[in-house]
Structure 1
């Protein structure tokens, strides 16, 4: 056998082995232990002006005792192409862990399930809100250009069998809130859920809205319709949340981090209860022209229940946001996060929309929070015009100071693929196409059933 023939045979063998790996749990990078897999949510059917805000239970997620290293997402169409925020606005998506009783009929979608049923145990993050915001991962329009990488040697621990209650198994669910603004009379008004554009007077449960409630989540619930221009054809289309999870198998070398979410609407400093209201309004400034200042600032405070080192931080804001920061008791900046606004029309660069948020990656051990320390969250919005239903959340990952800092795990970088692996890369592409096709067929055959509203 000639050298050229041996080389070709070797390359084909590599490609076949990669394609065979399509049936395994994930595609593993070549130079480290980092695993990665792309998933698709159930299909989301929209037409111009429509709103989908559903809960999807038992979504696909990596199995086993693992450490999550990143969780990225975006909205794509049936061809797998990114969808512009100027057509489908991703208000938010959140991924929530829960435990479900074994042997009970599998639930895929049920808006009325709730978190208190005996078959369902919510396994949320570590706080600090006493209600709401239980997610481990979640962003909104900024999802495409916001880093979610967890730096080495840290990881978000999931799938630990010792923490799963007897008779239950760990699962994951999504809440995906998408607003179709094709042909909208006021696209930005639709994304801010202005009640007059949705022509609603009651919330999702039929309760009358308060007279002073002019916009927010209570007006753009699942099945509502934002006003579109006369003559706009009602063309349906299906979109998906494409999410990419990267992880490593759990080992003693990984330092676990806890997920904390702060909310600028938290009432704790006034009531002693972390009642997070999630959204608020920004009034148009009446003095901005005279003072040349159109900044609306809101603050709240909270207490971290552990001593820990901050290893990551990022804010979540809506259009109109101009930045947010988390401060320590002494006024030091723990993390400052600013929005990235789009400038054009392509997906990921939509003018007027927040397409990313800056993140913080402190040097390990350089930003420490003391147990019981009062932290201040500040959220700034432009008040040049009014905004309804805005949010001011702040995510931080904290490594408990009692954690053992052992040897570092894999370097969290993309692998450098030698030329000899070229055919293998082609195999990976084929594998990805097969996976996407299989997932879509599977969802069409035994997809998630919606409940009429």
Structure 2
């Protein structure tokens, strides 16, 4: 244990980012919205959009007068007294309800409602979590073609790959930057919740094994058709990078898959039993999410943040977007002085232009085609990086931080170090990641969209873990000047 603590301290010293971090004080006026309750049996999964809900009336009135700038937000998983949703019981501890990931779109009810029905009704139930914003905008554009169109309305989106590890993470954008939204009146959450309440089993590392989404005997794998329970996984198996393939990481291919996100679809159970019998007789709890947004009226010089950014997934590389998840194989021998921490490394382009079949982790084709590469070349531009936070969601002292590095210069742009809980209260659960350090850039970092960045993710290999993730969630603002103008100015 002493050796492990020393290693964590050493990593903290090494993980020094050459950036300017701002104070995490929220700017503007707050408003809160709580999702509808989700009824879950013990061991049951909810993984889809929640029903769209209207925003508070005063926010709708404000947004109707002038575009608003969302300057930050907070998100929490909560438990309800019952199915009515009229009263929140409390913030839910992660050992009762694990929040695998979440997202939310803030826009118009007239657009969100049909999108909700389409997405929750399609095969696979949900889209890749990192691209809810882009797919929603495409949906609105397609449904309004040929109609008397008005000026395109902007929407705000949050989360995507964020989960329980960001419960204690400040989501604050630096002054001068915000997510811009026009005439908004509603919000639609995307929630991936796992009810672990009443399951007493814990891993040797101290957390519930259910958060790693076991593939129970109820899951039907068809190796000929590459389907699970008769459906293609909603996130296709991507081609992992060369090192992952050399290591034969089980999560990289359907034929070797053991457990993880692909066995965590909506409505399934991650505990053994009869999913049509005894499991449905277990206790039902009601969970959901509470979002608190901070906003102000947009100013003429407020720069809009954009989503999504194509980067970054440590399982991918310059040719492959990645597989979202990977496994940790035990490889530790303290008797030989092994620190039990392994570094996973890859390189990817910072900002691949989003389009059908291309656009970042968990989205579309696994491998870049020649036309994709031409699109990258044609889409070269400059962007300002203003916010970055890592995603390592497995608890039990497994995650040890993730770094974002400028590959050409070895400059560390950002380091996200996880914080582990030490008690039983919600927000301080022992054995769980309860916060992860973001980078909020007071002076945005200007980069070319095709610049190569290096991702280094560190995991403890003392215990085996499945479906771990090593992702970056980035916020950038487009630079309006041409490339030549920016180079001349520099």
TM-score past 0.5 threshold: yes
Corresponding residue for residue 225 of structure 1: 269
**Aligned partner of residue 361 in structure 1, secondary structure:** strand
Query: Shift in Å at residue 185 of structure 1?
Result: 5.4
| Pairing partner for 2:313 from 251, 260, 264 | 264
| Pairing partner for 1:34 from 28, 33, 41 | 28
2:95 is the alignment partner of 1:86: yes
Q: Deviations 1:275-322 (Å, cap 9, x if unpaired)?
A: 342111111115565341212222232223542333221111122211
Is the CA contact 1:59–1:171 (under 8 Å) kept in the aligned structure 2?
Answer: yes
Is the CA contact 1:204–1:218 (under 8 Å) kept in the aligned structure 2?
Answer: no
CA distance in 1, matches of 2:79, 2:187: 23
CA distance in 1, matches of 2:70, 2:338: 45
Per the alignment, do residues 102 and 140 of structure 1 end up closer, same or farther by CA in structure 2, a change over 3 Å counting? Answer: closer
Is the CA contact 2:75–2:291 (under 8 Å) kept in the aligned structure 1?
Answer: yes
Aligned positions, number? 346
Per the alignment, do residues 58 and 225 of structure 1 end up closer, same or farther by CA in structure 2, a change over 3 Å counting? Answer: same
**Aligned partner of residue 258 in structure 1, secondary structure:** coil
CA distance in 1, matches of 2:111, 2:167: 36
Query: Shift in Å at residue 59 of structure 1?
Result: 4.1
Superposed counterparts of 1:137-176, under 5 Å: 137-138=159-160, 139-159=162-182, 172-176=187-191
Q: Deviations 1:244-264 (Å, cap 9, x if unpaired)?
A: 111112221312233436332
Corresponding residue for residue 326 of structure 1: 404
Corresponding residue for residue 190 of structure 1: 210
Is the CA contact 1:264–1:298 (under 8 Å) kept in the aligned structure 2?
Answer: no
Q: Deviations 1:47-102 (Å, cap 9, x if unpaired)?
A: 22111112235344565322111121111122421110011111111224688976
Corresponding residue for residue 58 of structure 1: 52
Is the CA contact 1:97–1:172 (under 8 Å) kept in the aligned structure 2?
Answer: yes
Per the alignment, do residues 360 and 49 of structure 1 end up closer, same or farther by CA in structure 2, a change over 3 Å counting? Answer: same
Corresponding residue for residue 454 of structure 2: 376
CA distance in 2, matches of 1:213, 1:100: 39
Give ranges in structure 2 of 5+ residues lacking alignment.
1-25, 81-86, 128-133, 139-155, 203-207, 222-227, 234-252, 352-380, 482-490
CA distance in 2, matches of 1:104, 1:59: 9
**Aligned partner of residue 209 in structure 2, secondary structure:** helix
Q: Deviations 1:360-407 (Å, cap 9, x if unpaired)?
A: 123314x3323432111111111111111111111222233447xxxx
Superposed counterparts of 1:12-411, under 5 Å: 34-56=28-50, 58-60=52-54, 63=60, 64=63, 65-78=67-80, 79-80=87-88, 81-96=90-105, 107=116, 111-113=120-122, 122-123=136-137, 136-138=158-160, 139-159=162-182, 172-184=187-199, 186-187=201-202, 188-196=208-216, 199-202=218-221, 203-206=228-231, 210-227=254-271, 234-259=282-307, 260=309, 262-265=311-314, 267-269=316-318, 271=319, 273=320, 275-285=321-331, 287=333, 289-305=335-351, 306-318=381-393, 319=395, 320-328=398-406, 329-365=408-444, 367-402=445-480
Is the CA contact 1:56–1:110 (under 8 Å) kept in the aligned structure 2?
Answer: no
Is the CA contact 1:192–1:215 (under 8 Å) kept in the aligned structure 2?
Answer: yes
Query: Shift in Å at residue 206 of structure 1?
Result: 4.2
Corresponding residue for residue 366 of structure 2: none
**Aligned partner of residue 210 in structure 2, secondary structure:** helix
Is the CA contact 2:94–2:164 (under 8 Å) kept in the aligned structure 1?
Answer: yes
CA distance in 2, matches of 1:106, 1:373: 34
Give ranges in structure 1 of 5+ residues lacking alignment.
1-31, 125-133, 162-168, 404-453
Range with bigger deviation, 182-191 or 340-349: 182-191
* CA RMSD, 1 decimal: 3.5
CA distance in 2, matches of 1:178, 1:192: 12
The higher radius of gyration belongs to: 1
**Aligned partner of residue 171 in structure 2, secondary structure:** coil
Is the CA contact 1:264–1:299 (under 8 Å) kept in the aligned structure 2?
Answer: no
CA distance in 2, matches of 1:253, 1:321: 39
